[in-house]
């Protein structure tokens, strides 16, 4: 079944190429396609294009299809082009000609625009929840080990004292900024494109404000040409948010790989969270961190991949946009899996509480010595030179302690302030409003 079928057969080779992976990927969009159809037909009934009794039977059957999709039992039949065609086919198969009325005032263009926005909005909520959990785990570790010193590095050379409190806490605060980018993506995704049709509106008196309310959108894409132009732009905006979190996870994973190596020995994972070697019996490899790093590095290329598809497209719909699905839809599960496994690994990390006493880290305390002299009245340049000469002569002896008190330093992590930032930010998403609207729509 093809919604555009006018009785002309398409060459099988061309059909297979143009359909691509739509049958496989569109299954992910099925519950959202149903929600969009439910909102659309409620609006059609209001403007007189459906009778009340027709609406009622359509809604009953759409609820059945929605439950099938949510249960993971929805599939797209061979010969059916996409999720939109499959939903309409199921309605027509069950209800006859009534099922053919649901497409009035729509195009597949605004259907897929809507499906992708509803899908992205749904997955963004999952990302926020998983990210918040990882944030809390990192903050808990930061507090637990805030007094355990480790060396900090610049240029991969021992630099100044750091702490596990700083290290864990740094990634926690990074996630706050990542969710700022996610919030921007949420704002873009949370606008209703339905009613744009093929990008030029409809002669039917569509009530787009009604569908915006029914689907729990904060606002709508008003200009119908821009609504259609939003295809690809929304995905790329969300991709930047995905890439932002992926960047934090990748750096965390890289540090994890370094810190677990024998050359560092800062942290350890339980044996059951590591893998071995087929030839070296002593190996306990940090594959979990390595795979997080690899997957998240790929995710960081997602905005550029989508941009490569959309960059030179003029106004209007083009089939090139279909390619974006192949990269965009699976990216959410890749990120969610990476966040979840990172959280599991961090929860189970053991830290080495005696790192800083190793002789090779003694020079990390030179700045502490310089600052101590400055506080005694020695000019900074003179203090710097004095400590530097001691180092050159091999006479420098560290005290292995730090007295940092300013905001965000070793002795004043400000974790509560960072947690407050996160709490306020998460509150701005207002997921409850979306849930309430969709629950009402389904009833």
Cβ neighbours of residue 279 closer than 8 Å, sequence gap 6 or more: none
pLDDT of residue 285: 86
Read off the pLDDT of residues 325-376 as tens digits, 9 standing for 90 and up: 999 999 999 999 999 999 999 999 999 999 999 999 999 999 999 999 999 9
* Nearest residue to 339 via CA among 182, 152, 188: 182
Is 422 in contact with 179 (CB distance < 8 Å)? yes
Helix axis angle, 224-260 relative to 322-347, nearest 10°?
A: 30
Residue 4 — very low, low, confident or very high, per pLDDT cuts 50/70/90? very low
Q: What is the mean pLDDT of residues 184-188?
A: 98
Q: What is the pTM of this model?
A: 0.92
Residue 411: alpha-carbon gap to chain centroid = 33
d(CA 393, CA 318): 71
Backbone angles phi, psi at 275, to 5 degrees: -125, 165
**pLDDT above 90 for 274:** no
Residue 289: alpha-carbon gap to chain centroid = 18
Residue 17 — very low, low, confident or very high, per pLDDT cuts 50/70/90? low
Mean pLDDT for the chain overall:
93
Is 161 in contact with 148 (CB distance < 8 Å)? no
Tally Cβ neighbours within 10 Å of residue 219: 10
Question: What does each C-alpha distance from 233 to 85, 269, 315, 422 come to in angstroms?
Answer: 25, 41, 12, 27
Task: Compute, in degrees rounded to 10, the torsion defined by CA atoms 148, 152, 158, 159.
Answer: -120
């Amino acid at each position: 079944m093809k919604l555009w079928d006018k009785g002309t057969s398409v060459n099988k080779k061309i059909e297979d190429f143009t359909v691509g992976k739509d049958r496989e990927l569109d299954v992910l969009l099925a519950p959202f396609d149903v929600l969009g159809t439910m909102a659309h037909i409620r609006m059609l009934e209001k403007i007189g294009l459906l009778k009340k009794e027709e609406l009622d039977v359509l809604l009953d059957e759409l609820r059945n299809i929605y439950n099938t999709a949510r249960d993971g039992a929805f599939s797209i039949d061979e010969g059916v082009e996409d999720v939109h065609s499959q939903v309409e086919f199921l309605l027509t198969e069950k209800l006859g000609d009534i099922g053919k009325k649901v497409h009035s005032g729509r195009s597949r263009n605004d259907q897929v625009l809507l499906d992708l926005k509803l899908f992205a909005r749904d997955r963004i909520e999952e990302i926020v929840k998983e990210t918040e959990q990882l944030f809390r785990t990192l903050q808990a570790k930061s507090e637990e080990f805030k007094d355990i010193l480790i060396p900090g590095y610049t240029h991969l050379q021992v630099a100044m004292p750091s702490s596990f409190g700083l290290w864990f806490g740094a990634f926690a605060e990074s996630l706050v900024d990542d969710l700022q980018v996610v919030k921007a993506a949420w704002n873009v995704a949370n606008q209703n494109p339905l009613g744009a049709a093929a990008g030029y509106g409809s002669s039917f008196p569509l009530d787009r404000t009604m569908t915006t309310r029914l689907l729990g959108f904060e606002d709508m894409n008003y200009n119908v040409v821009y609504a259609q132009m939003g295809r690809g732009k929304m995905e790329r905006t969300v991709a930047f948010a995905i890439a932002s979190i992926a960047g934090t996870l990748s750096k965390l994973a890289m540090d994890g790989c370094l810190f677990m190596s024998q050359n560092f020995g800062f942290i350890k994972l339980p044996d059951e969270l590591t893998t071995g070697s087929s030839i070296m019996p002593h190996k306990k490899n940090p594959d979990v961190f390595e795979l997080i790093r690899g997957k998240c590095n790929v995710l960081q290329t997602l905005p550029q991949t989508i941009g490569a598809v959309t960059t030179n497209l003029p106004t209007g719909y083009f089939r090139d946009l279909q390619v974006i699905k192949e990269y965009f839809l699976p990216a959410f599960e890749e990120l969610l899996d990476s966040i979840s496994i990172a959280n599991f690994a961090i929860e189970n990390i053991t830290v080495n509480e005696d790192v800083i006493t190793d002789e090779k880290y003694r020079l990390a305390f030179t700045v502490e010595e310089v600052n101590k002299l400055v506080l005694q009245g020695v000019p900074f340049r003179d203090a710097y030179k004095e400590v530097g000469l001691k180092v050159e002569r091999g006479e420098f002896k560290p005290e292995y302690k730090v007295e940092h008190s300013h905001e965000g330093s070793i002795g004043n992590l400000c974790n509560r302030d960072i947690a407050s930032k996160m709490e306020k930010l998460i509150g701005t998403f207002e997921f409850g409003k979306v849930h309430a609207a969709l629950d009402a729509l389904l009833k």
